[in-house]
Homo-oligomer: A and B are copies of this chain.
Amino acid sequence: MLLKNFNTKNIVSLENFLRIKKNEPIVLVQGLGFVGSVMSLVVSNAINGNYAVIGVDQDTESGRRTVDSLNVGVFPITADDPKIHQYFEETRKRGNFYATVDTAAYAAADIIIVDINLDVHKTSNEKNALIEYEVTLASFIVAIKTIGKYCKPDVLVLVETTVPPGTCRNVVAPTLKAALEERGLPTDQIRIGHSYERVMPGPNYIDSIQSFYRVYSGIDDKSADAVEAFLKTIIRTDEYPLTRLGNTNATEMAKVLENSYRAMNIAFIVEWSRMAEEAGVDLYEVVHAIRQRPTHSNLMFPGIGVGGYCLTKDPLLASWARQHLIGGKDKLAQSEIAVSINDQMPRYAFEFLERRYSKPLDGVKVLLLGASYRGDVGDTRFSPVEPFYRCLKSAQALINVHDPYVLNWPETGIAPFTDLSDALGTEPDIVVISTGHLMYQNEKTIETLLACQSLWIYDTIGLLSTEQISRLRQKHTVIVLGRGDL
């Protein structure tokens, strides 16, 4: 996304940027990924304040690429939200955002927002069932130490990263205070808070930060007050009031709890969709019937599995924290089992195809419609389509991929087709609907498919209506995961 009004003379050094902005409060965003880059836009377009924003990424090849991209006016994330473009353009006009890998920036910050990743490393068996997992705080602690090495003693450090409950109290606070002490600085002026984002990449990317409910806390009352004062300047708290919780353990727990809840509810329907297939039951009609009850309106629909950065790991962060950070001894059994069940679903979806197709997939041409983990979004992180793709690959199928939102699929090295007719021009034997992009249920798509010679269509996510399935069956074989004998 290149801006019209881009002008190289806008590029200044960090030093110059700080001199120009010396009368404005400096907000530093640490980590410029899917959260930090958009958070930077929200802060630099604060609804009720005037901040100079510095985005800091790691001094690595990919970090430097992101930083350069932002400074020359190319937003590093492709998204459907027109507000991203608009906010970025405004920011550029005002000149109140600067990206850098230079740690000197920390010394200037009045507020530091931590938006770095904290990953979980999973080990799975050949069926993709979870065997064990590892949470290591090492690189997170390095990032916090970097803050402590340079920050002002009265800085507000606001952690937005999804962390294992207990992290702010037991890791962030002692690390920062030790660093200040080492520098001979007072340790009683620093403010440390936690407030998790609920960012949802897609058409409401900006609003998922700016116009949504927020939960926050601090390691003490003054910290919580400081977080509240700041959040009120960037979030529409008139419509979406803030909720303060009693301590940082509570907000950290809230984040992983809400994601574990969702992961578990997906795993629930994954498990039942297998049973439904065994029983010849259309689980979609069952779920529709049950969702009429208000107490059951959140029941999920079946599908190819769960993806994205959060739901695939947060339940494990929670279970790990219970055993290693807050003094409990048991794991969270349901959260761990949920991750394992979800991880196995793409393989199950593959085996369903194998069973129904009944001929070897070796040499069969398969076209995947969609690579990302979520409809109308270009985010492929931990997409369930990836393990599904790997199963097909192992079976020596010949695979093509279409996805209008994914120019490059980094996890597989594939550059998907963005035009559907081009993709169908590969003359697939099997077309798999693997992501819920709305275009796949358009009348135009149905007609394009009807114009193809006879093929198999495999809907893994229940995107096609019963009526569309009937029409397609006049020419093609259509199978749908989770719809029993339909």
Residues of A within 8 A of B (CB): 165-166, 198, 213, 215, 243, 245-247, 249-250, 253-254, 257-258, 260-262, 264-265, 267-268, 271-272, 274-276, 278-282, 285-286, 288-290, 292-293, 295-299, 318, 322, 326-328, 330, 332-335, 337-338, 341, 484-485
* CB atoms of B328 and A296 under 8 A apart: no
The 8 Å CB contact of A213, one of B261, B272, B285, B293, is B293
Known: A253-B276, A262-B296, A275-B326. A281 touches B334 (CB 8 A): no
* CB atoms of B279 and A253 under 8 A apart: yes
Specify which chain B residues have a CB less than 8 angstroms from the CB of A198 in the assembled complex.
293
Specify which chain B residues have a CB less than 8 angstroms from the CB of A318 in the assembled complex.
275
Q: List 30 A-B contacts (CB under 8 A).
A: A165-B281, A243-B289, A243-B292, A245-B282, A246-B282, A246-B484, A247-B281, A249-B281, A250-B279, A250-B286, A253-B272, A253-B275, A253-B279, A257-B272, A257-B286, A257-B290, A258-B290, A261-B296, A262-B295, A264-B268, A264-B334, A265-B265, A271-B334, A275-B326, A278-B322, A279-B326, A279-B328, A295-B298, A296-B298, A334-B337
Query: Which 9 pairs from chain A and chain B are nearest by CB?
Result: A278-B328, A279-B326, A243-B289, A249-B279, A298-B298, A250-B281, A213-B292, A215-B289, A254-B286
Known: A261-B299, A337-B333. A246 touches B213 (CB 8 A): no
The 8 Å CB contact of A322, one of B245, B264, B275, B341, is B275
Specify which chain B residues have a CB less than 8 angstroms from the CB of A280 in the assembled complex.
247, 249
* CB atoms of B278 and A327 under 8 A apart: yes
Residue of B nearest to A250 (CB): B281
Complex alpha-carbon distance, A166 and B335, angstroms: 30
Specify which chain B residues have a CB less than 8 angstroms from the CB of A249 in the assembled complex.
279-281
Complex alpha-carbon distance, A2 and B101, angstroms: 83
Complex alpha-carbon distance, A424 and B265, angstroms: 43
Specify which chain B residues have a CB less than 8 angstroms from the CB of A290 in the assembled complex.
215, 254, 257-258, 261
Specify which chain B residues have a CB less than 8 angstroms from the CB of A275 in the assembled complex.
165, 253, 318, 322, 326, 328, 332
